[in-house]
Structure 1
Amino acid sequence: MSAAKSTRLLSLDVFRGLTVILMLLVNNPGDYTRYYRPLAHALWHGCTPADLVFPSFVFIMGVALVYGLAGIRSQPKQHPVALWRIGRRMVVLLVLGLLIGLVPYFYFTSFRIPGVLQRIALVYGVCSVLFLKTSWRQQLWIGGGLLVVYNVLLQLVPVPGIGSANLEPATNLGAWLDRKLFTSSHLYLNQQGWDPESVLGTLPTIVTGLLGVLVGQWLRRPGSDAPTKAVWMLVGGSGLVLAGLVWNGWFPINKALWTSSYVLYAGGISVLVLAVLYFLVDVQQWRGAWTKPLVACGSNALLVFFLPEALERLLTRLKLHDAHGTVFYARDWLYEHLFTAHIAHPYHASLAYAVCYTLVWIGILWVLYRRRIFFTV
C-alpha cells in the first residue's frame, strides 16, 4: 500500500509532536521578560518561530480532519451523525478554552472569553462542514475570498468612534468588534481593550485550516505517486511563502491580527515542513528512535495544551509563606531556588526553566503513550 493511501500519516504525528515541543518552550520561560528572540512573539508586525506554533496546529488539524472524515464524505446519509459529532467536539473545546480562563479563581465577571481553544473549535467546525459539503475548488475560492474580504475590512472600513481604518492594537476594526461583543474585563489585554484571538480574526484562521484540508485531500488523491506529491507540496509551500511576503508589502505579516499575508506565509511554512517530513517518514520510511518521542508528544496534543497552561496559572497564583511570614508565589520560588540561584545569566536561567519544564512534559507524554492512554474529544 502506498503512503498516500495509508489511513494515517506518521509524518503528521511527527509534525504535531514538534509543534507541541516548540509550544512548551515558547509558553513557559522562567522569566516572561527575558526571552531569546526566536522563542518570543514578534512585538507587532513580523514573524518569529514562536509565531508559527498556533498556525501549525490549525494547519495540522485541517489535514487530520480530512483523514478522519474522508470515509463519511461520500455518504450523505451519514452526514447528520458526523455533524452531531463535530458540534459536540466544538462545544467541548469551547468549554475547555473557557475553563482555562477561569482557573484558578473562577471569577466569572472578569475571565477571558476569546482564546486559542475557542478559536480552534470554531475553525474546526467550519472547516469540517466545508470539507463534507464542498469540493476542493469551492474551498479554494472560499479561502481566497475570506483573505481578500479580511484585508478590505481591516484596511478600508472605517472604525466606528475612532476614525479611519488602521492596524494598531487597540483601534483596529477587530478590536472594536471585540469590545462591542465583550466587556474589556473579558479580553486578554483588558487594560488596552483588545485580544489577539479576536472574533474577526477567526475568518482568516479558517483559511489556515482550509490550507490543511486542501493538503490533506492532495495527499489522499489517487493517481499520483507519493514522491511526486511531496515535490508538488514543496512547490506549493514555496509559492505560498512567496505570496505572503509579497502581500506583506501592503498588509503586513502579523500573528496577533492573523493578517492575510500571515496566513499565506505561515501556511506555506507548514506545507514545507509537512512535505519534508512526509518524504522522509512516509515515503522513505525513515523511522525509528527519533520519531517515537515526537509521535508520543503529538498523541496527546489537547492534554498538553490544557494541563501545562492550567498548572502554570496555579503556580503563578499559589501563595506560600516562609518562617518569617513573607509571602511569595510557588512559581517564583521554584524559579529562584532551582535556576537563578545556580545560573547567573538571566536569559540562560529563563531558557533552562523552559527546557526543564518541557522535558518534564515530554516524559509524562511518553509514559502516557507507552500505556496507550490518549485524551481526545
Structure 2
Amino acid sequence: MFLPMNNRYYSLDVFRGATVALMILVNNPGSWSYIYAPLDHAAWHGCTPTDLVFPFFLFAVGNAMSFVMPRFEQVGTSIFLKKVIKRTLLIFAIGLFLNWSPFVKWNEGLLVVKPWNEIRIMGVLQRIALCYFLASLIVYFGKTRGAFVTGAIFLMTYWFLCFWLSASGSPYSLEGYFGTRIDLQLLGSNHMYKGEGVPFDPEGLTSTLPAIVQVIFGYLVGQYIQQKGKSYELLSRLFITAVLLTLAGLCWSTAFPLNKKIWTSSYVLYTTGLAIFTLTTLIFLIEFNNYKGAATRFFDVFGKNPLFIFVLSGFLPRILNLIRIADRINENGHPVYLSPFGWFYEHVCKPVSPNLKNGSLLYAIVMIAFYWLIVYLLDKKKIYIKV
C-alpha cells in the first residue's frame, strides 16, 4: 500500500531542499577563478562533493514521482500522458528561456539581441525534463520490475556504446567520447556548451540515457519507503543497499571511470548509493529521532519552491548583468563596468581575506541567504509555485 500524501516523510522534503540549496551554492561563486576544490566539479574523471548535487536532485525527482504515480494509475493512461507531456515541455521550455535570457547582451557599448543560433539547447532543466518524461513512461508502463530491468539495461547499454563507438583509443576521454558526435549531428555545434574548449555538452542527449536511471532509482527507493513505513528493517535495508551500490560503483569505475560530464554508469551507481545513504541518515534523524531544528527548517523552505528558486538564481544575475556600474579605469584607460552583484563581490566580499577563495565563498553563502529569504517569505505567505 502507498501512504497518502499527507503522510509523506518530512526527511524527503529536507533532502530535496538541501539539494536545491547546494545547487545554488555551487552555481554562484563570487569568481569562477577562485573556488575551493570541494565546490568545483572534477576536471574530468573523478567525483567531488559538487558532482553529487545534480544526481541527488534527479534521485529526488524519482522520490517525488513515487508519490504521484499511484494517482496517475487511477486516472488512466490518457490523463497521465497529458500531464506528463505538459510538465516535460514546460520544464524544457523554462530551461531554454533561462539559456536565452535576458535576450539581449552588451556589444561595444550597445545592447543587441542575442541570436537564436548562439543559444545552447540543453542544460540542467532540459535534462531534468527529459529524465522525468522517460522515467515516468518506464515506471508507468513497466511497473517496478520493468523499471528495474530497464534501468539495468540502460546502464549496460551505455557502457557498451561508450566503449565500442569511441572515436579514439581512449573511449572515456573528451576526444573519444562517442556522444559528442551524436550531439553535434542533432544539436549543432552552435547550440552546444563550449566550456571544455570544444563543442561538448555535459547535459547532452546521449549522456541523458544513464541519467534516466538516477530517476528510476529514486522512484524505487521512494516506493520502498512508503511500503515499509517507519521501521528499523527499512533503515537497515536502505543502508545495506547504499553500501552495495556505492561499492559497486567504485568497482565498476576501475573499468568505466566515475565521470559526471559523460554521466558514466559507474557514476550512477556510486552517486545513487551516496544519495540513499544521505536520505537514510535523514530518515533516522528526522523520522525516528524527531529532529526538526533550524537546519531542517532552513532546507525545507527551499524544497517547497525548488524549481522557482533555481530558475530565479540563474535568471536574476543575467538580468542584473545588463546594469553596468562604472567601477574604475583599467591600465589601458578604459572604464571597467560591474553588475550590481559583481560590485557587491568586488567591494564587499573580495576584500575580506587575502585568500580570494574566501571572498568567493562568502559571496556564494550570501547568495544562499538572499535566495533563502525569498523562499522563506513565499512559504510564510503559503505561495508555492508548481509546474
Considering the TM-score relative to the shorter chain, is it more than 0.5?
yes
Sequence identity of aligned pairs in percent?
35
Q: Which residue of 2 aligns with 1:281?
A: 286
CA contact (8 A) 1:251 1:261 kept: yes
**Residues of 2 paired with 1:4 and 1:372: CA distance?**
21
> Helix, strand or coil: the match of 1:57?
helix
Out of 69, 81, 85, the residue aligned to residue 83 of structure 1 is 81
With over 3 angstroms needed to count, the CA separation of the structure-2 counterparts of 1:72 and 1:342, relative to structure 1, is: closer
The equivalences for 1:6-21 within 5 A come to 7-21=7-21
> Helix, strand or coil: the match of 1:321?
strand
> Helix, strand or coil: the match of 1:168?
coil
Q: Tell me whether 1:267 sits opposite 2:277 in the alignment.
A: no
Out of 344, 351, 358, the residue aligned to residue 341 of structure 1 is 351
CA contact (8 A) 1:30 1:335 kept: yes
The amino acid that maps onto 2:133 is G
Q: Tell me whether 1:365 sits opposite 2:375 in the alignment.
A: yes
Residue 225 of structure 1: CA displacement? Answer: 5.2
The amino acid that maps onto 2:346 is E
**Residues of 2 paired with 1:376 and 1:5: CA distance?**
16
For structure 1, the residue ranges without an aligned partner over 5 or more in a row are none
The equivalences for 1:33-48 within 5 A come to 33-48=33-48
**Residues of 1 paired with 2:166 and 2:295: CA distance?**
52
The equivalences for 1:127-206 within 5 A come to 127-159=135-167, 163-164=168-169, 166-189=171-194, 191-206=197-212
The amino acid that maps onto 1:99 is F
Residue 308 of structure 1: CA displacement? Answer: 0.8
With over 3 angstroms needed to count, the CA separation of the structure-2 counterparts of 1:251 and 1:16, relative to structure 1, is: same
Residue 6 of structure 1: CA displacement? Answer: 5.7
Deviations 1:36-84 (A, max 9, x none): 11111111100011001100110000010110122332x3x52211220
> Helix, strand or coil: the match of 2:116?
coil
Residue 288 of structure 1: CA displacement? Answer: 4.0
With over 3 angstroms needed to count, the CA separation of the structure-2 counterparts of 1:121 and 1:270, relative to structure 1, is: same
Q: Tell me whether 1:257 sits opposite 2:262 in the alignment.
A: yes
With over 3 angstroms needed to count, the CA separation of the structure-2 counterparts of 1:322 and 1:225, relative to structure 1, is: closer
How big is the alpha-carbon RMSD for the aligned residues of Structure 1 and Structure 2? 2.2
**Residues of 1 paired with 2:154 and 2:357: CA distance?**
41
**Residues of 2 paired with 1:99 and 1:153: CA distance?**
32
The equivalences for 1:12-31 within 5 A come to 12-31=12-31
Residue correspondences, number:
371
For structure 2, the residue ranges without an aligned partner over 5 or more in a row are 105-113
Structure 1 stretches of 4+ with a deviation exceeding 4 A read 1-6, 322-325
**Residues of 2 paired with 1:145 and 1:262: CA distance?**
15
CA contact (8 A) 2:256 2:266 kept: yes
**Residues of 1 paired with 2:226 and 2:44: CA distance?**
37
**Residues of 2 paired with 1:22 and 1:81: CA distance?**
34
> Helix, strand or coil: the match of 1:220?
helix
**Residues of 1 paired with 2:162 and 2:129: CA distance?**
23
CA contact (8 A) 1:174 1:200 kept: yes
> Helix, strand or coil: the match of 1:290?
helix
The amino acid that maps onto 1:113 is I
Q: Which residue of 1 aligns with 2:335?
A: 326
The amino acid that maps onto 1:305 is F
With over 3 angstroms needed to count, the CA separation of the structure-2 counterparts of 1:340 and 1:150, relative to structure 1, is: same
> Helix, strand or coil: the match of 2:220?
helix
CA contact (8 A) 2:210 2:268 kept: yes
Deviations 1:219-273 (A, max 9, x none): 1225x65221121111101100000000000100000110000000001111111
**Residues of 2 paired with 1:293 and 1:225: CA distance?**
24
With over 3 angstroms needed to count, the CA separation of the structure-2 counterparts of 1:41 and 1:70, relative to structure 1, is: same
Q: Which residue of 2 aligns with 1:93?
A: 91
**Residues of 1 paired with 2:287 and 2:235: CA distance?**
10
Deviations 1:318-346 (A, max 9, x none): 43336988241214322111122343321
Residue 286 of structure 1: CA displacement? Answer: 2.5
